[in-house]
């Protein structure tokens, strides 16, 4: 089944403790992206990647890092999480975002205390 898989689904952590949210896609898509969803703010793009080793900032990149060492994987790294990064995070992939949009994973709900 074609899908975007992200783990974990739920995560509670403490301020300052580094964490990684994994994302993998099995559709051989060139593009991958991370979004965060907050009430009243919709989905905001954090980072996106055009291909292996090619990444670019979205609208809210501060406090996040990404890497694209393999085509199928695009982990999101929070080096020093803070409470304002408590949010619902979505990974997504696409062959052609401008034409087909992104296919989204099921989300990771992160709470930073």
Q: Please give the residue ranges that form the binding site for other proteins (CB under 8 A).
A: 4, 31, 33, 35, 40-45, 48-50, 54, 56, 58-59, 90, 92, 94, 97-107
Cβ 28 to other proteins, closest distance in Å?
A: 16
Minimal distance, residue 56 CB to other proteins, in Å: 5
Nearer residue to other proteins within complex by CB, 64 or 102: 102
Element (H, E) at 82: none
Distance of closest approach, residue 22 Cβ to other proteins, in angstroms: 15
d(CA 34, CA 19): 15
Q: What is the dihedral of CA 38, 44, 50, 51, to 10 degrees?
A: -20
Q: What is the DSSP letter of 73?
A: B
């Amino acid at each position: 089944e074609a899908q975007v898989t992200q783990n974990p689904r739920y995560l509670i952590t403490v301020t300052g403790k580094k964490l990684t949210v994994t994302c993998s896609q099995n559709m051989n898509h060139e593009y991958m992206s991370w979004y965060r969803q907050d009430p009243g703010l919709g989905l905001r793009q954090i980072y996106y990647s055009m291909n292996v080793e090619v990444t670019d900032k979205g609208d809210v990149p501060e406090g996040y890092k990404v890497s694209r060492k393999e085509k199928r994987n695009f982990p999101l790294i929070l080096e020093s999480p803070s409470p304002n990064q408590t949010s619902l995070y979505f990974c997504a992939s696409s062959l052609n975002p401008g034409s087909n949009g992104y296919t989204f994973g099921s989300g990771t709900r992160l709470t930073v205390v």
